[in-house]
Structure 1
Amino acid sequence: MKGFEDVQPLPIVTELPDELCQIMYTEEYKQTMGIARALLQKQEYSKRALDLTAKVIGLAPAFYTIWNYRFDIVMHMAEQEEDAARLLNEELDWVDETTLNNPKNYQIWSYKQALLERHPAPNFKRELPVLELMINDDTKNYHVWSFRKWCVLFFQDFSQELSYSDLLIQKDVYNNSAWTHRMFVLKHSNPDREQIDLELDYVKEKIELVPQNVSAWAYLQGLYENFLSGSYDAGILQFAQMLTNNVTDSAESPETTLPEIESSYALEFLATVYAKTDATKKKAVKAYQALAAKYDPIREAYWQRQISMLE
């Protein structure tokens, strides 16, 4: 390979006679990997070694040993560089280009974290465009969301996260990743009661828009459990009852006379709240029975289990 004539590639296959299956590597792959192994063994931290790791990662993006080697090279070069920030910014630019072609490669995200942790002047705003681009491409990409959460904590910058999650929820009210991120932000930003009340209004508005949305109901319950000590007020119970046609308050009736309701998740929400106190456990049992009989029969075994725990 040009530029590596002085390097004797190390073999990447054992060529043992009792191998169950030999992988049919291409000559390019064997040569590239062989040279990379040789440089790694010599601990060569040069520009050509850095360029070679980019080629290796292009061939095998999940090769974590090469990612570690590349990181060592970059750190070694940064120590010799007067402007380490410029070097690390160039490396972050390279990572971003690689990320767009490998959106679910977890090595990339841990690599970016390691670079930012050692960056003399890391910048959250620099990370936002590629994160937004990738989330727009796949709103449920766990790796991207996890990295965004890490960035928020690392930079201690929560200033735009609620508005960003709202933008995504407006586009897709079922986006559970956005709802989860919103709760994550609240848990780490110490909101006061006024903000929690605003969040309650926010989620109720989204529930009224689409009553049968488990993400919004989970968020609503999370607000009460995490910020209001699990103390559910009469207003929120009435809100849920309106979407369940007051099933839990009606007289005992067979399955055929159960009314239509707007949201089985509203009924599950009520059951969960009613199960908290002895005075309302009968209502909880009735809610679970209705879920098992008509509104969510696919989980009948689960509802029956809930009932048995209350009796």
Structure 2
Amino acid sequence: MHNVKRVQYSKEVLEARKQRDQARLKQYLALYDRVFDKRKNADFSQEAFNSTTSLLRINSELYTIWNYRRNIMTNGIFPSSEPSKVNSMLNDDLELTFELLKQHPKIYWIWTHRRWCLEHVPDGPTDDDPKGWKTANWKKELFVVEKMLNADARNFHAWNYRRYILASMDNPPPQTSELAYTTKKIEANFSNFSAWHQRSKVLQSLWDEGKIDERSSREADFELVRNAMYTDPDDQSVWMYHAWLIGSGNDLPLLRREIQSIQELLDEQPDSKWCMESIVRYKKLILRNHASSLSAEEQEKLRSDCSSLLVTLEDIDPLRRQRYRHMKQELLA
């Protein structure tokens, strides 16, 4: 970097650092070999379990060792343990995975192990509340994943995990609360594709169950996504959500209205690739679904408009030139 003073290390300092790195590598390889030997010998002892902890803290991507850790629990420790100890161990592993996820939030195997822990929490602790431990863990987990999303609101692993938690809870929060949560995340960052995706899942479920009016909520979301378009017309996630709201394109007045709205944005942003692509997509939907209500002249005008936009797209997006040429050929077929 400019204007940053470069630190010059002496030969002795560099040699000492090299020696430390070599010692750490040697220790890691010795631990690695020891744990894999224990696995090979089907060692399901507490000592073997502790060894997996040490190794996974150094390298959390060793999915084979995560599998081995679970085998130690189910085959070696759990069968001879009281439910309270099983619950305690699983909670310790939830703490371990939370600590590791803060450092490595996108390692799939850590998320997988966390799911496994939750799914193996035993019933307890009282007859009055036979699922007491399970209920407490699932409720706590929603707060945990919110912390993860506060740290990185676009972490799709965390969003997938959030869907899993909500689907697994006996008494999840109402879906309208989840809809409000996605609104908060989207308004904080319109580029949050995962939040838009979660919103589509929640809305579709609410519509299917008749819990909110589809027409009015869809209209409200057209307004939300329109604001996002004008804020950042180059953000792909916004246009993908808009296409989802349009759906199969059976509503001709809606298609015409949205095309006009996007055209107004294109007039302001004449090089907007996503504006052009969306207009082409929606005009093709009109041609495909509503040709019978159009005159020959109207159909030809739509084809001509699409063809002209595709030629422009070839120039401004040359990496996808062949795709646009193919789309243009389809129009003429």
Q: 1:124 to 1:223 in 2, by over 3 A?
A: farther
Asked whether the 8 Å contact 1:217–1:265 carries over to 2, the reply is yes
Shift in CA distance, 242/33, structure 1 to aligned 2, threshold 3 Å: closer
Question: How far is the alpha carbon of 1:37 from its aligned partner?
Answer: 2.6
**What's the C-alpha RMSD, in Å, of the aligned pairs?**
3.1
SS of corresponding position for 2:213: helix
Q: Are residues 304 and 286 of structure 1, via their aligned partners in 2, closer, same or farther at CA, if it must alter by over 3 Å?
A: farther
- 1:166-224 Cα offsets, whole Å, 9 max, x none, are 11111111211211121233344535471453133123233135331432232122133
In the alignment, what sits opposite 1:78?
78
Matched, 1:181 2:175: no
Alpha-carbon displacement from aligned partner over 1:271-299 (angstroms, at most 9, x marks no partner): 22321333364314413413532797314
Aligned to 1:112: 114
Question: Equivalent residue for 2:7?
Answer: none
Separation (CA, whole Å) in 1 of partners of 2:64 and 2:152: 28
AA of the residue aligned to 2:26: E
The equivalent of 1:13 in structure 2 is none
SS at match of 1:61: coil
Spell out the pairing of 1:165-180 with structure 2 (5 A cutoff). 165-180=182-197
| Distance in 1 between residues matched to 2:245 and 2:145, nearest whole Å | 27
2:3 corresponds to: none
Q: CA deviation at 1:108?
A: 0.7
Instruction: Output the CA distance in 1 between the equivalents of 2:257 and 2:279.
Output: 10
SS at match of 1:210: helix
Q: Distance in 2 between matches of 1:203 and 1:238?
A: 11
Which residue identity does 1:97 align to in structure 2? E
Does residue 208 in structure 1 map to residue 239 in structure 2? no
The one-letter code of the counterpart of 1:35 is: R
- Tell me how far 1:308 sits from its aligned partner: 1.1
- Please tell me whether residue 150 in structure 1 is matched to residue 164 in structure 2: yes
More moved, 180-189 vs 52-61: 180-189
Other-structure match for 2:35 = 36
Report the TM-score, using the length of structure 2 for normalisation. 0.70
Deviation at 1:54, TM superposition (A): 0.8
Query: Identity over the aligned pairs, expressed in percent?
Result: 23
1:243 paired to 2:257: no
Does structure 2 retain, via aligned residues, the 8 Å contact 1:207–1:217?
no
Contact conserved, 2:265 with 2:275, CA < 8 A, in 1?
no
Q: Secondary structure at the match of 1:243?
A: helix
The one-letter code of the counterpart of 1:206 is: V
Equivalent residues, number: 275
Q: Give the secondary-structure state (helix, strand or coil) at the position aligned to 1:170.
A: helix
Determine if the alignment matches structure 1 residue 305 to structure 2 residue 306: no
2:127 aligns with none
Work out whether residues 92 and 112 of structure 1, in 8 Å CA contact, stay in contact via their aligned partners in 2: yes
Deviations 1:98-152 (A, max 9, x none): 2212212111111122222223325433222332232333333232233223333
Query: What is aligned with 2:312?
Result: 293
Which consecutive unaligned segments of at least 5 residues does structure 1 have?
1-22, 248-258
Contact residue 313 and residue 321 of structure 2 kept, 8 A? no
Distance change (3 Å), C-alpha of 1:186 and 1:198: closer
Q: Distance in 1 between matches of 2:142 and 2:115?
A: 14
- The answer to which structure has the higher helix fraction is 2
Segments of 5+ residues of structure 2 without an aligned counterpart are 1-21, 123-133
Indicate how the Cα distance of structure 1 residues 35 and 261 shifts in structure 2: closer, same or farther if over 3 A, else same. Answer: closer
Q: Could you tell me which of 155, 158, 165 is aligned with 1:141?
A: 155
**How many angstroms apart in 1 are the aligned matches of 2:245 and 2:265?**
23
SS at match of 2:93: helix
Normalising by structure 1, we get a TM-score of 0.75
Q: Go from structure 1 to structure 2 and tell me whether the alpha carbon gap of 1:89 and 1:288 turns closer, same or farther (over 3 Å shift).
A: farther
Note closer, same or farther for the CA distance 1:144–1:200 as it changes in structure 2 (3 Å cut): same
1:271 pairs with 2:290: no
